[in-house]
Structure 1
Amino acid sequence: MRSLARVSRSSSAGPPPGLVRMRLVATALLLAMAMLFLAARTQQHVAPFWGFVRAFAEAAMVGGLADWFAVTALFRHPLGLPIPHTAIVPRNKDRIGDTLAHFLRDNFLVPDVVARRMSRLDPARAAGRWLANPSGIGGGRLREGASRLASNMLESLDQERLGGMVRATLGQRLRALEIAPLLGQALTAAIAENRHIPLLDGIVRWAGRVLSANQPVIRTMIHDRAGALLRWTGLDETLANKIIAGLDALLADMAEQSDHPLRAKAEEGLATLAHDLQHDPAMRERVERFKAQMLDNPALADWWQSVWEQLRAAMLRVVRDPDAMMAGGFGDALRQFGTTLQADPALAATVNRFVRRAAVGAAADYGDAIVRLVSETVRGWDARTITGRLENAVGRDLQYIRINGTVVGGLVGLAIHAVDRLL
């Protein structure tokens, strides 16, 4: 982020100091060669030595001026003159953007290339080393940097908009998913592995609590529906006691006897329900209708929103205080997972395979989008912006070309003059 900020500031606030300094050095060297040429020209008749100095200075001026023209022609018209094949970068910025985008696609975003590069990496063991010792060398800075980045990303996202996207995504996935067969398969598997028994036990216990809590209601109902003779003789109370005691004994027997006939009937009913959920069109339609009614209920949307807000708040608390996260039981689990990643080759291979497939899948799915993003971004820049950014990035090194051209040109001129004198 800091480097991007520096690039942005440099492109908008003018050339960086290093570029200005190197321009002054290259220009001063060219002017020095011009003055040296004039001095040698006036002194050439005094001694042959000055002829060598003149040849050096003259060729140095030619080399320096040629390289100045070449460097300047990359970014603008030299001296403002519309000379053909100058201002190369501004005139070809769209082609440069397309070329850069195609270079990224052909060399970095090809699934085969990504897979080959990822095969040489071992992200599982690297993650394992960091998780096992998150406070190691560079670990504190890495954790703090990741914490700030994650916190800034979460805070920058529009809470309402993102919450709406979460609700819409969940709703679409649930509407497209037929849950009746899944429920039937889960229930069938539970019955086959006797995992439904705790459910039946819970239902029996719940029925016992309901019976105990509603005894007055049962007694009142029997009293109101009994005849006058039963009420006059008090048999309605006796009848109510017998019914309540019988139901209570029945529930107790069902709770204690795993082979009770009513439990068998309940298991048979669960098996029938599991079959109907998978194979009965009418049952599946009823489940889908109930699901649609639930999804259309505004209360469910409000509940999802509250869940998202709680999840977002929890993630913010975690990323803002990574030390607290790593200090608790969750941190112990992460450290244990890091140790396991380093010690278990099979697990590390599985994680590496997952990361490799994710990277290859991202390149295959989003490579063209990234290429279009790069190309369209460069096309969207005006000529002055891209010229300023490129010149500020590489202009300092290009000034060395001017300096080298001046020096090399002078040496070549000196060599030619020496050969001419010898021959």
Structure 2
Amino acid sequence: MRWTATGLLAAMAVLFFTTHGLLGDHPAWGYVNAFAEAAMVGGLADWFAVTALFRHPLGIPIPHTAIIPMNKDRIADTMAQFLRENFLTPAVVARRMSGMNVAKAVGDFLAASPQQSASDTRSRLTGGAAELLAEVLESLDPDRLGNQMRAGLGSQLAKIDVSPLAGRMLESTMADQRHTPLIDGFIRWAGLTLEDNEETVRDIIHTRVAGVLRWAGLDKTISGNVLDGLYKLLAEVLIDPEHPLRGKVEEGLRKLATDLQTDPATRERVEEMKRDLMENPAVSEWWMGVWERIRQSLIRRARDAESGLGEEMRSLLADLGEALKKDERLQLQINRFARRTAVGVASRYGSEIVTLVSETVKRWDATTVTGRIESAVGRDLQFIRINGTLVGGLVGMTLHFITSFL
């Protein structure tokens, strides 16, 4: 467009000098010459005006030219003040945010189907979130983070009264007969343990019986009978659901369930056991090992495109989007939070934002400011020159027409 405007100005100059020698041949040449002369003057005037905004015309330091570079700092302050007064005031931000349903817009975006255009953006969002998660987990001190999480879990566990909860769970388990496999498993474990430690049992009986019995060799018979009796007892309890010993075990479990919920002494013992367990260094070491495995697993899954973590995050985001779309009360709460946050940012940091804009523009050199503003205005600057050339020519031709009748 700059070449077009300059070419039009040059064409008017050529037309003016060409038609100057033809004025006596025909009256029409006078109109053409007047048009070209006035167009040339108008084009030159507008070229000077446009150029003077950004630089000195022809490099000559004429007063009141290069207006924008010479007033760069004042323009920066004016821009910043305009931004502060018209965009970053709490009242303006609140009024603008009050008409926006931010939660529903976010919900529509998150719940968009994979066939819609938003799916690519959402995939990039989940991919970026997964990578961010991996980098955060790698950058944070694993020991410190693990200790913080352990402390947080410990503080929450300390608030929970474990005893009544355990009592109700045990009571519910027995009501549904879900404790029977546990008792059977315990009996089998007892039998296997006894089998693995037969020699130890025999040694204990050998050392406890009288010397005469040992001398007579009856200790082996006694220990064999004791072991056979124990095996028989365990087998009977395992086979017979109505065995008295099994009933005693169930009676004890029922009493334990009741005491866990109602007996202060039992509840206090459970709480003391819980505190001792939480303060045990071995538990801390166990937790740190568990946390490190969890952390490494999360990092690997976040970095592995085939792990399915991205799909899980997309499914989670889609569910969140559906909830935001349908739950008006949730929308109200989120919109209120977003509005208060935006107003708070404008109120607390509006001055800092304005200062950032002003100082950034001031740090630009004059050439940068000129180039950016001139590029932003763009083609319209050259249309000013073109219009000035054409309008000047029409005015000149009109004046020639008037003066020809005087």
Matched, 1:187 2:161: yes
Matched, 1:147 2:123: yes
SS of equivalent residue, structure 2 residue 388: helix
Quickly say closer, same or farther: Cα 1:236–1:295, change in 2 above 3 A: closer
Letter of the structure 2 residue corresponding to residue 272 of structure 1: E
Matched, 1:351 2:331: yes
Matched, 1:164 2:158: no
Offset at residue 159 of structure 1 (A): 5.4
Offset at residue 414 of structure 1 (A): 3.9
**Rg (Cα) greater in structure:** 2
Q: Percent identity?
A: 36
Distance 1:319 1:380 in 2: 45
SS of equivalent residue, structure 2 residue 140: helix
Question: Is the contact made by 2:2 and 2:382 (CA closer than 8 Å) also made in structure 1?
Answer: yes
Offset at residue 309 of structure 1 (A): 0.9
Letter of the structure 2 residue corresponding to residue 83 of structure 1: I
Please give the residue correspondences for 1:50-65 in structure 2 after superposition, counting only pairs within 5 Å.
50-65=29-44
Matched, 1:401 2:391: no
Question: Is the contact made by 1:68 and 1:402 (CA closer than 8 Å) also made in structure 2?
Answer: yes
Offset at residue 50 of structure 1 (A): 4.5
Structure 1 segments unaligned to the other structure (5+ residues): 1-21
Distance 1:265 1:193 in 2: 8
Matched, 1:261 2:244: no
Question: Is the contact made by 1:63 and 1:408 (CA closer than 8 Å) also made in structure 2?
Answer: yes
Offset at residue 334 of structure 1 (A): 3.8
Q: 1:79 aligns with which of 48, 58, 68?
A: 58
SS of equivalent residue, structure 2 residue 156: helix
2:98 maps to which residue? 119
CA deviation vs aligned residue, 1:231-258 (integer Å, no higher than 9, x gap)? 7154445556777858998995587458
SS of equivalent residue, structure 1 residue 214: helix
CA deviation vs aligned residue, 1:171-219 (integer Å, no higher than 9, x gap)? 58547x6554521433369639935757998896686675455334565
Distance 1:94 1:168 in 2: 51
* Cα RMSD for the two superposed structures: 5.1
Distance 2:303 2:336 in 1: 31
Offset at residue 25 of structure 1 (A): 0.9
CA deviation vs aligned residue, 1:87-133 (integer Å, no higher than 9, x gap)? 44445555555555555555455554444333333455555556666
Tell me how many residue pairs correspond in the alignment: 381
Question: Is the contact made by 1:75 and 1:387 (CA closer than 8 Å) also made in structure 2?
Answer: yes
Please give the residue correspondences for 1:186-205 in structure 2 after superposition, counting only pairs within 5 Å.
186-187=160-161, 191=165, 194-195=168-169
Q: 1:306 aligns with which of 277, 296, 316?
A: 296
Letter of the structure 2 residue corresponding to residue 194 of structure 1: R
Larger mean CA deviation between 49-58 and 75-84 belongs to 49-58
Question: Is the contact made by 1:71 and 1:398 (CA closer than 8 Å) also made in structure 2?
Answer: yes
Offset at residue 311 of structure 1 (A): 4.2
Please give the residue correspondences for 1:191-270 in structure 2 after superposition, counting only pairs within 5 Å.
191=165, 194-195=168-169, 211-216=190-195, 219-226=198-205, 227-229=207-209, 232=219, 234-236=221-223, 252-253=246-247, 256-257=250-251, 260-267=254-261, 268=263
Offset at residue 396 of structure 1 (A): 1.8
Please give the residue correspondences for 1:92-103 in structure 2 after superposition, counting only pairs within 5 Å.
92-93=71-72, 96=75, 100=79, 103=82
TM-score calculated relative to the size of structure 2: 0.67
Offset at residue 26 of structure 1 (A): 0.5
